[in-house]
């Protein structure tokens, strides 16, 4: 079955209140395969848009004394997805695979779909250890979770925000590996997106990759016109 590609925007900690309003006014997109992950405080502003919405992070706890955290229980009626395991959460905020696994379980207790990010560092890639590394991440992150509502975003850390992307061949073989690994672990097929410096200049080239099921886009999604053009390229293929 041919599934529509997912085109996701990760705004990270960008855009002011005014910039978000301008973005929304200029974003006349009506597609559920488009997901926006804004800062949590702005999620509600997108409520009249016919797109999918997500949170950039979620607590592993359901509720209680966890200052500054947001739980799946709190956002379950506002969003469709929780982005879990982004490399910035893993490296800057020291999230372990155990925590990430707990976060997936927490999201699933409240019926949120999960976009799980995995990806290797440049040192791992150079040492030819990428597949071992990803394999380990998948085993730990997906331990005892329900795979049916999870999509994976493969984001090599060295490609995020750098303007450098892997070759088409590298992306294709890594995605193939991830799909096979998940199938071995769970018996199920999974959608795998690519993320890391996706932009209007490289999207046509990336679209030649046969097994990519969509994209997770940071910097290039922050300008609504730019993001709309990328959506157009992907949806018109
Ligand atoms: P980038 O970010 O497109 O700016 O590289 C992607 C991401 O971090 O999800």
40-85 residue pLDDT tens: 999 999 999 999 999 999 999 999 999 999 999 999 999 999 999 9
Tell me what the pLDDT averaged over the chain comes to.
Answer: 96
Please state, in angstroms and rounded to a whole number, the distance separating the CA atoms of residues 152 and 189.
11
What tokens were used for 230?
């990328």
- Residue 116: name the closest of 125, 124, 107 by CA: 107
- Can you read off the two tokens belonging to residue 169? 């061949």
pLDDT > 90? residue 116: yes
Contact predicate 227/217, CB 8 Å: yes
Using the mean position of ligand 1's atoms as its centre, give its distance from the Cα of residue 193 in Å: 12
Q: Which residues line ligand 1 (CB under 6 A)?
A: 10, 155, 160-161, 195-198, 216-220
The band of 2, judged by pLDDT with boundaries at 50, 70 and 90, is low
Residue linked to tokens 């071995």: 184
Question: Is 1 a residue whose pLDDT tops 50?
Answer: no
Give tens-digit pLDDT for 18-37.
999 999 999 999 999 999 99
Q: Which two tokens stand for residue 99?
A: 């925590």
Alpha carbon 115 to chain centroid distance? 5
How many whole angstroms from 65 Cα to the centroid of ligand 1? 32
Give the chain's length.
237
In the residue annotation, 155 being an active-site residue is answered as yes
CA separation for the pair 54, 62 (Å, rounded): 17
pLDDT at 237: 73
Closest C-alpha among 89, 19, 21, 101 to residue 60 = 101
Q: How far is the CA of 105 from the centre of ligand 1 (A)?
A: 25
CB neighbourhood size of 197 (10 A): 22
* pLDDT for the residue 3: 73
Contact indicator for 176, 209 with CB cutoff of 8 Å: no
Residues 171-191 have pLDDT tens digits of: 999 999 999 999 999 999 999
Choice from 57, 81, 196, 222 to test ligand 1 binding pocket (greatest atom count within 8 A of CB): 196
Check residue 236 and give its pLDDT.
84
Full-model pTM? 0.97
Protein residue whose Cα sits closest to atom 1 of ligand 1: 218
Tell me 2's DSSP state: P
d(CA 161, CA 10): 12
The alpha carbon of 221 and the centre of ligand 1 are apart by a number of angstroms equal to: 9
Residue 188 annotated as catalytic: no
- Rounded percentage of the chain residues whose pLDDT exceeds 70: 99
Residue range 159-171, pLDDT digits in tens = 999 999 999 999 9
Q: What is the rounded CA–CA span in Å between residue 105 and residue 101?
A: 6
């Amino acid at each position: 079955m041919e599934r529509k590609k997912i085109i996701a925007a990760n705004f990270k900690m960008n855009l002011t209140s005014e910039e978000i309003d301008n973005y929304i006014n200029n974003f006349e997109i009506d597609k559920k395969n488009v997901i926006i992950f804004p800062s949590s405080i702005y999620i509600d502003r997108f409520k009249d848009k016919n797109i999918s919405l997500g949170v950039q992070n979620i607590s592993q706890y359901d509720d209680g004394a966890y200052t500054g955290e947001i739980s799946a229980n709190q956002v379950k009626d506002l969003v469709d997805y929780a982005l879990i395991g982004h490399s910035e959460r893993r490296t800057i905020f020291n999230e372990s695979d155990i925590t990430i696994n707990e976060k997936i379980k927490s999201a699933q207790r409240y019926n949120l779909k999960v976009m799980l990010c995995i990806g290797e560092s440049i040192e791992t890639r150079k040492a030819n250890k990428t597949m071992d590394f990803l394999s380990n991440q998948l085993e730990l992150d997906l331990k005892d979770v329900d795979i049916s509502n999870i999509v994976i975003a493969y984001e090599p850390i060295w490609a995020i925000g750098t303007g450098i992307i892997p070759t088409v061949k590298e992306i294709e073989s890594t995605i193939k590996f991830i799909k096979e690994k998940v199938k071995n672990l769970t018996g199920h097929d999974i959608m795998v997106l690519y993320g890391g410096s996706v932009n209007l200049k490289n999207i046509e080239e990336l679209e030649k990759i046969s097994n990519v099921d969509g994209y997770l886009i940071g910097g290039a999604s922050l300008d609504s016109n730019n993001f709309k053009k990328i959506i157009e390229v992907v949806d018109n293929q």
